[in-house]
Amino acid sequence: MGRSLGLEKLALHLVLLASICSVVLVYFLFKPEDLSIAEDFPNPYSHLPGFSPRINLQNDSSLKLPEAADGYEFFRYPYEDTRTNTTKYGKVLPVSRVLLSKYQIPINYLETLDADSVLDFVFVMACSGDHFRESLGSIATVQEQFPKHRIMFYDWGLSSGQVELLKTLCGVTYVPFDFSLYSASKHQSGSPRFQGAKILCIMDALINNSGVFWIDASVRFFTSSGFSVLFQNVIRNGGFAMMSNAHHSTYAATHPGMYAYLPTDIEGQKRCCQGQSGATLVYKTHKVFDGIIWPWFLCSLTAECMTPTMQLGCKFKKGDVLRTYAGCHRVDQSALNILASNLYNHNNMPTLDLAGDFKDQQAFHEYLLDY
């Protein structure tokens, strides 16, 4: 009997000792100070517009996350509808942490846009081999009218000879571009593939520059004297300008599938006219980066957002180029106009109004194809 009680006491002591050891082990593996350290280092992307914690998305049965969710952050574009005083969220837009690191996100914003910093921009262009000869004319007019500004030229499929020629041009920096880094490009072809990649070049150029002046290979500058007025308006509106307008509305040339990712006031998109993205000036101010550049970038990474269709040819209804969908899609131009009009509350953006004036003054001329 005494021996039995002794064994029970020994067993009890062993259990208590094991419990104490477990507590000590847990303490050293998960020390309280580690918890405070974790709290001091939140997700570095959580402050970006539209950030959606994965746990929230996983608990929402109406949302479907990508199969390979690990290594990704998720965002939903928030549209502040001032007419109804509500916030509407678009479908989930994933982005890999590899790309976030590549583009050095979070970025260093341009805190002040003034008469000095507005001149701190770089020209950015890109093309494939079949548009290279055309691009040389654009480069020449930039060199003539803006001799102090650099050109970053992204390679969308140049030949080795074209690359060698490009590297000899004064003030031009050759930048290779790898489409294989972007899964959306696997589902795109032809012009839509290149149009969707514009913002990827812009984002790369913004890493070390305050502003980017994107120009298509077709753009020609005849004078730079009128741009002082443009820069004044860019300063006033927070860092954005488009140089010309199309003859139709954004609604007429935008596939409805894009609105699922980039919600907007549909009636506002039926107004005249859609700005053309062939010559666009943007700065990484808080306003323009958060409101236009960032969601434009996110959209470009999801093929269903940027290219819900690759039908570029429009069939406009006779006498109506504003309020009837023409069965086509302007890809980056559609995304850019939705985001810009949302940011500026669907008012006629002063940059777009001025764009017509600049065209009349021949500040630049753009050969446009009604693709």
Spatial separation of the C-alpha atoms in residues 45 and 53, rounded to whole Å: 10
Q: Which amino acid is residue 141, in one-letter code?
A: T
- Supply the pTM of this predicted model: 0.84
Residue 20: predicted pLDDT: 52
> What is the mean predicted confidence (pLDDT) over 193-214?
98
> What is the mean predicted confidence (pLDDT) over 193-200?
97
> What is the mean predicted confidence (pLDDT) over 82-91?
93
C-alpha neighbours within 13 Å on the C-beta side of residue 292:
29
> What is the mean predicted confidence (pLDDT) over 320-338?
97
Mean pLDDT, all residues of the chain = 86
Residue 134: predicted pLDDT: 97
Sign of CA dihedral 173, 171, 165, 203: positive
Residue 32: predicted pLDDT: 42
Ramachandran angles phi, psi of 97, nearest 5°: -65, -25
Residue 146: predicted pLDDT: 96
Does the pLDDT value for residue 15 go beyond 70?
A: no
Residue 347: predicted pLDDT: 75
Does the pLDDT value for residue 42 go beyond 70?
A: yes
Could you tell me the pLDDT band of residue 333, with boundaries at 50, 70 and 90?
A: very high
Instruction: Identify the DSSP state of 184.
Output: G
Return the higher-pLDDT residue of 327 and 61: 327
Comparing 62-76, 134-148, 266-280, which segment has the lowest mean pLDDT? Answer: 62-76
Sign of CA dihedral 268, 272, 277, 279: negative
Domain boundaries of the chain, sorted by first residue: 117-366
Residue 68: predicted pLDDT: 58
Spatial separation of the C-alpha atoms in residues 248 and 273, rounded to whole Å: 5
Contacts of 69 (CB under 8 A, 6+ apart): 54, 94
Within 10 A of 45 (CB to CB), how many other CB atoms are there?
A: 15
Spatial separation of the C-alpha atoms in residues 355 and 358, rounded to whole Å: 5
The owner of tokens 């180029």 is: 321
Does the pLDDT value for residue 30 go beyond 50?
A: no
> What is the mean predicted confidence (pLDDT) over 179-186?
94
Classify each residue of 93-109 as buried b or exposed e, where b means 16 or more C-beta atoms within 10 Å of its C-beta.
bbbbeebbeebebeeee
Q: Domain 117-366 has what CATH class? A: alpha beta
> What is the mean predicted confidence (pLDDT) over 241-268?
96
**What is the per-residue pLDDT across 317-326, written as a single tens digit (0 to 9) for each?**
999 999 999 9
Does the pLDDT value for residue 89 go beyond 90?
A: yes
C-alpha neighbours within 13 Å on the C-beta side of residue 78:
13
Return the higher-pLDDT residue of 8 and 233: 233
Does the pLDDT value for residue 274 go beyond 80?
A: yes
Of all residues in the chain, what percent carry a pLDDT higher than 90?
72
Does the pLDDT value for residue 21 go beyond 80?
A: no
Comparing 196-200, 228-232, 325-329, which segment has the lowest mean pLDDT? Answer: 228-232
